[in-house]
Structure 1
Amino acid sequence: MGVNRFEHQRVQVADGVELNVATTGAGSPVVLLHGFPQTHLMWRHVAADLAADHTMIMPDLRGYGDSDKPADTGLTYAKRTMAQDVVNVAKALGHDRFALVGHDRGALVAFRTGLDHPEHVTHLASLDVLPTLDMWDVMRGTSAAVGFHLFLMAQPPGLAEELISARPDAFFGHFLDVWSTAEFPADVRAEYLRASREAVTSIVADYRASATIDVEHDTADREAGAQLKMPVTVLQQDWGAALGFDAEALWRAWAPDLDHRTVSCGHFMAEEAPQQVADAIRDLLTR
């Protein structure tokens, strides 16, 4: 499956919460955060490319993969909480400052980490997502159908968990199929489905947080004029044209030092276009 090239360890990030963390390589640290419905395994190609020059740190986010899945208390899956996890993982591995790259859900955690902990994040990259407030602003009309899962998992506890648990492979497999321009290797797809099937409740809690507490935190920051202080690279599909918004302009409002690039592939660009992603990260690290 390719994951065996990594070393794995359990890292405590909070009382009673440990994350599964994969590492490889040597050199300045780069933390990679996976998206939905995936695990750290999505970085297998990019990490192998960058490992010659960098220590690659790839946690499964809390609630995902083989990391702990604590019960939701309202703040458990706030991106602010998950951002602290990232800082704690890096510190546990001996790194006070690090570059940070996130895809999809992991990019939202990276965004919050950059806002809350600029003293720790040297460079930041986001793959194929908008900041939470902008995402909710652009998801309107019939074009919002592409994000139906956002609205489903934003509902109060109970309904989404019951519906998804009834057919988890059909639900999570849908996104692996329609968001990609290429098929996943069978063993990789099976691992993503296995991990997601075992994490329905915590995955829903993560998404619910993005419609509740994360909105509160991001709104407060936007009203205060908060911005990302570090160099930022954003890679996105050109889905802004279809939905009627300027993704680069939305990102630049948060990140003045921005390199915004359009990538011609599907959503899972670290697996569909790993060389482009690795090259963009290298470019970012020279800024």
Structure 2
Amino acid sequence: MTLSIPGFDHVRLPGAGGVELAAEVGGSGSPVVLLHGFPQTHLMWRHVAERLAGEHTVICPDLRGYGASDKPAATGEDVYAKRTMAADVVALAAALGHERFALAGHDRGALVAFRAGLDHPETISHLGILDVVPTLDMWNVLHGVPAAVGYHLFLMAQPPGLPETMIAASADAFFGSFLDAWAGDPAAIPAEVRAEYLRASAAAVPSIVADYRASAGVDVTHDQADLDAGSQLAMPVTVVQQDWGAQLGYDAAAVWRAWAPDLDHRLTKAGHFMAEEAPDEIAGAIRDLLAR
């Protein structure tokens, strides 16, 4: 049985190009959209969403290719480009009556949020980012033995066929390995939630791989074009992440500051799944962002 965020309503609305997104919506007030990461669904925001719903209309979609949202075939590299996925989010919010909204994302969802901030500055009022650096910078900082932590990025960057076959052959073990390795507090993802993540991910192997493959191709092209043009995020930005800079040997705050002049950069002691492990901290960071 698919799990839901208590008190939230399920909706299914159009994204971009005929794709439909599943989402849960709750609360009232100014809108905040929360985008999930890998290997998860919108359910990862359940604790934070409940905390914010007393003050805001909170919208938690499944990204295209994930969860209960449509999973179009990757007939071209743009199908899972973060530009396309960002357009999905803008269309979904508009269908709910929101032409301007705050946006926060974790992991893959944070890359979509980053692209939305660059492509739709008139629409995104505030931008929250959890535990990533932009795609172009990600490839630049992954080098040497420490880059082994991101082996899945290289696996899913390979041409279509082999990655999908390998992952589908042992989907629960593959996706479960990230839930185990990246969690600072494994108890924060209870058995029934873990089972939902694994079920949803196993059903979405081709689209998940296509999402990652786009980040080794078209997403880099888009980021590089913005870098060359001097484009920056015009809205207030808060980044919360583990101390990846120390682990991989780069200045994470400086990387983000190059893109976001109005930046609040925070380090957390929580693990990668920080919205589940430290929901008070993350909800507080989002509230602080929205107050700027």
TM-score by length of 2: 0.97
- What SS class does the counterpart of residue 111 from structure 2 fall into? helix
Pick the aligned partner of 2:28 from 26, 29, 34.
26
- 1:256 equivalent to 2:258? Answer no
In structure 1, the partner of 2:143 is 140
- 1:225 equivalent to 2:222? Answer no
Whole-angstrom CA distance in 2 between matches of 1:137 and 1:59 = 30
Pick the aligned partner of 1:170 from 170, 173, 184.
173
In structure 1, the partner of 2:284 is 279
Residue 98 of structure 1 deviates from its aligned partner by: 0.2
In structure 2, the partner of 1:188 is 193
Q: Deviations over 1:164-205 (max 9, x none)?
A: 000000000000000001222000000000000000000000
- 1:61 equivalent to 2:63? Answer yes
TM-score by length of 1: 0.99
Whole-angstrom CA distance in 2 between matches of 1:252 and 1:14 = 30
Contact kept? 2:16, 2:84, Cα under 8 Å: no
In structure 2, the partner of 1:16 is 18
- What SS class does the counterpart of residue 9 from structure 1 fall into? strand
Residue 16 of structure 1 deviates from its aligned partner by: 3.3
- What SS class does the counterpart of residue 70 from structure 1 fall into? coil
Contact kept? 2:238, 2:264, Cα under 8 Å: yes
Whole-angstrom CA distance in 1 between matches of 2:109 and 2:4 = 21
In structure 2, the partner of 1:270 is 275
Pick the aligned partner of 2:82 from 79, 82, 92.
79
Name structure 1 gaps, 5 residues minimum: none
Residue 80 of structure 1 deviates from its aligned partner by: 0.4
In structure 2, the partner of 1:111 is 114
- What SS class does the counterpart of residue 223 from structure 2 fall into? helix
Q: Which amino acid aligns with 1:213?
A: V
Residue 4 of structure 1 deviates from its aligned partner by: 4.1
Whole-angstrom CA distance in 2 between matches of 1:255 and 1:16 = 32
Contact kept? 2:242, 2:267, Cα under 8 Å: yes
Residue 12 of structure 1 deviates from its aligned partner by: 1.1
- 1:126 equivalent to 2:152? Answer no
In structure 2, the partner of 1:6 is 8
Q: Which amino acid aligns with 2:141?
A: V
**Structure 1 residues 172 and 208, CA gap change in structure 2 (3 angstroms):** same
Task: Say how many residue pairs are matched.
Answer: 287
Residue 2 of structure 1 deviates from its aligned partner by: 5.4
Q: Which amino acid aligns with 1:49?
A: R
Contact kept? 2:104, 2:127, Cα under 8 Å: yes
In structure 2, the partner of 1:159 is 162
- What SS class does the counterpart of residue 180 from structure 2 fall into? helix
Whole-angstrom CA distance in 1 between matches of 2:144 and 2:194 = 32
- What SS class does the counterpart of residue 78 from structure 2 fall into? coil
Name structure 2 gaps, 5 residues minimum: none
Whole-angstrom CA distance in 2 between matches of 1:272 and 1:153 = 27
Residue 33 of structure 1 deviates from its aligned partner by: 0.3
